[in-house]
Amino acid sequence: MESICTIGVAISPRKTGFGAVVFSGRLDDGLEAASKAKFDVVELSIRSVDDVNPVELTPKLNDLNLKISAIATGQACLFDSLCLGSDDPGIRLRAVEHFKAITNLAVNLGAGAVIIGGIRGRLSGTGDQYKKAYDTGVNTIRECAQWPDSRGITLLVEPINRYETNWIYTAKDGLALLDEIGINSVKLLLDTFHMNIEEASISAAIELANNRLGYVHFADNTRHAPGQGQTDFKSILKALKKINYLGPIVAEILPLPDDLTALKNTAEFWEKIAGED
């Protein structure tokens, strides 16, 4: 598709229990496979800044003609309880410091963005307590946002479905958060898997985001490679073209039936799309 600039896939350098990545713990294999499949970028799902060494990784990326599109941060909350929405001020402080360290890693790797998705965690309480927790969470994200903004990279906020978090589900929720944060460099990341659960219309959500959309995750309704399920990607691509979206589209998918096949299925999806233009 002519309007799409960069196509990629999400990889975790460290072996992880988070399922929606390929080549988990096999970064070199994943990079080589992504390069052979002619992807432009890879997204790194990072648990710790020690997961990769920029001095070693950067030459490999150059040799393989790959760039880092973004660094995802959710594993720190999922496995180390470093969650930005925690009701414990000490945990929030450590989560912010972790996010700052990841942002510095992104700068050193030449990555275009850092992602706040699963690292939000869940908010506690109901009613007024929930509202207070939400306001605290917004302030915490705003503190995080100042760090990439001052370093010339983008912060991406990802709405996530209700089964994985309890705040910021939809594009509308995400845009409201961006308004509250009030930093222009912060953009929205929309994921087709989460949108399939939460949005009445994926295309309408994309059009609502418009020029505040900075990044897209593609996965089918089963979280397999795009084109393996029921998601109407033609209408999604049409909506992206309508808003003149030119950012990355990265497959954040389950490694099924295996890593290489999942990656190849994604590559074949894009080859088919290109052939239909």
Catalytic residues: 158, 252
- DSSP alpha helices (H): ranges in the chain? 27-36, 54-63, 75-80, 89-109, 127-150, 171-181, 192-198, 202-209, 233-242, 259-276
**Cis ω before 59 (30° cut-off from 0):** no
Give dist(CA 173, CA 176) in Å, integer: 5
Give me the residues paired with residue 235 across strands: none
User: 90, 119, 184: which is closest to 146 by C-alpha?
Assistant: 184
Q: What angle do CA 146, 151, 152 make, to 5 degrees?
A: 100
Burial environment of residue 135 by CB neighbours within 10 A (0 to 12, 13 to 18, 19 or more):
exposed
Amino acid at 77: C
Give dist(CA 101, CA 146) in Å, integer: 13
* Residue showing tokens 């393996």: 228
Cα dihedral value 133, 136, 138, 139, nearest 10: 180
Give dist(CA 183, CA 250) in Å, integer: 24
Q: Dihedral of CA 166/171/176/180: which sign?
A: positive
- Cβ(11)–Cβ(45) below 8 Å: yes
